[in-house]
Amino acid sequence: MNLTEVYLEDVISFFNGKAPSQLKNGEYKIYGSNGIIGNSDSFNHENAIIIGRVGAYCGSIEICNNKFWASDNTIVVKTNNNNNLKYFYYLLGEFPLRNFAGGSAQPLLTQAILKKIKIKIPPLPIQQKIADILSKYDDLIENNRRRIELLERSARLLYKEWFVRLRFPGHEHTPIIDGIPEGWERLKLGEVLTLQRGFDLPSAKRTHGQYPIFASTGINGYHEKAKVQAPGIVTGRSGSLGKVMYIAEDFWPLNTTLYVKDFIKVDAVFALHLLENLHLEQYNSGAAVPTLNRNDIHKIKVLCPSCTLKSLFLAFANPIYTQIHFLDRYNQKLKQARDILLPKLMNGEIEV
């Protein structure tokens, strides 16, 4: 494959993002350095690549084919007519942009730095072919992600209908005793399940393996050993609060999380929805760093429905989460295959 060495400024244009006046529930996505951070009723770019400019996500890459707002933590990239935008999205995503960052207190990328980076690119027809091949993987991944969202939404809607709005099967004929439906219990959360702090696992002591490591916001890596058997529930303890995650495989919860150690009166799927609807972020007890105290959380009063009603719900919800796990694993394999293929296409090892 014939590759030409060029400076980035020769083939693409750069634009600094701008702070949105305020976050609104508009139709246009707002991109920060860590991806989508909200919505706006106005836009400042469309059909472009978004590069994280500063901080922990410096050098991160996103692409949006629609109109969007790029915040001041980003740099926007657009290609000229002789180059393919999607190709450059994959190329820059593979390129170690963060290694070029300056800044003393925190990493910082500027237009001046980016413009003088040298890259090797093929002619436009080859760019288009490479982008088309890699896009097929991403299209499948995105389709599965949307299916997962719809499945999760259906389970959440049913849970809220039955156990929040109390419109469960037979509710019309169920007596209300002491303010709750007959057969239900009002209990402390600690009587329904037990939350436990996760485990330390410094990066230096990690050995890559098959078991996911969970931080407060999601998967943080993989390790050769698991600490907790599936199915499991994890939520943020320190730093980021409120997200509740269902885990269908053995895992390692980090010490920035709380995990359900004992499912006393509910199973994992029911516990997921129960904790989600508590909106745990409102119980922050930290000053400088958001923190959940499990002892405080255990004292929260919750409603525990009858065993029959929980069984009816799980008969609907458990197959949903089995399918979600299958789609999630399929997406992991697609990402692995794409990431193996990507550098080989870029350097010409695989001809197109």
293-315 pLDDT per residue, tens = 999 999 999 999 999 999 999 99
What's the mean pLDDT in 211-219?
93
96, 121, 146: which is the final residue of a domain? 121
Q: What was the pLDDT predicted at 206?
A: 93
Q: What per-residue confidence (pLDDT) applies to 22? A: 65
Q: Single out the residue of 253, 174, 260, 178 nearest to residue 219, CA to CA.
A: 253
In contact, 251 and 223? CB cutoff 8 Å: no
Residue 86 lies in a domain: yes
Question: What is d(CA 130, CA 346) in angstroms, rounded to the nearest whole number?
Answer: 8
Burial degree of 245 (CB within 10 A; 0-12, 13-18, 19+): buried
In percent, the amount of the chain with pLDDT more than 70 equals 99
pLDDT of res. 23: 64
Enumerate the β-bridge partners of residue 263: 193
Task: Verify that 104 and 195 share a domain, yes or no.
Answer: no
Tell me whether residue 173 is in a domain.
Answer: no
Domain boundary residue, one of 92, 121, 150: 121
**Is there a domain that residue 172 lies in?**
no
pLDDT for 161 equals 97
Q: Which of 9, 11, 46 is nearest to 31 (CA)?
A: 46
Average pLDDT over residues 319-346: 95
Tokens describing residue 23: 């976050």
Band (98; pLDDT cuts 50, 70, 90): confident
**Which range has the worst mean pLDDT, 102-111, 136-145, 311-320?**
102-111
Report pLDDT digits (tens) over 312-330.
Answer: 999 999 999 999 999 999 9
Number of domains in the chain: 2
Given a cut of 70, whether residue 278 has pLDDT beyond it is: yes
What proportion of the chain, given as a percentage, has pLDDT over 90?
A: 80
Q: What is the mean pLDDT of the chain?
A: 93
The answer to which of 92-106, 207-221, 290-304 has the lowest mean pLDDT is 92-106
**Are 117 and 189 contained in the same domain?**
no
> Where residue 288 sits, what CATH number does that domain have?
3.90.220.20
Q: What does each C-alpha distance from 273 to 130, 215, 233, 316 come to in angstroms?
A: 42, 19, 10, 13
Range name among 92-96, 158-162, 276-280, 319-323 with the lowest pLDDT average = 92-96
Is 347 among the domain residues?
Answer: no
Structural domain for 300, as ranges? 185-304
Q: Look at residue 331 and tell me if it is in a domain.
A: no
Q: What is the pLDDT of residues 36-80, one digit of tens each?
A: 888 888 899 999 999 999 888 899 999 999 999 999 999 999 998
| Residue 219 included in any domain | yes
Residue 315 CA to residue 295 CA, distance in Å, equals 32
Specify the DSSP element, H or E, that contains 45.
Answer: strand 45-52
- Identify which of 7, 3, 37 has the alpha carbon closest to the alpha carbon of residue 20: 37
In a domain, 40, yes or no: yes
Average pLDDT over residues 208-226: 93
Is the pLDDT at 195 greater than 80? The verdict is yes
Q: Is residue 274 located within the same domain as residue 202?
A: yes
Residue 197 φ/ψ, nearest 5 degrees: -65, 145
Specify if 247 maps to a domain. yes
Domain-ending residue, one of 263, 285, 304: 304
Q: How far apart are CA 49 and CA 72, in angstroms?
A: 14
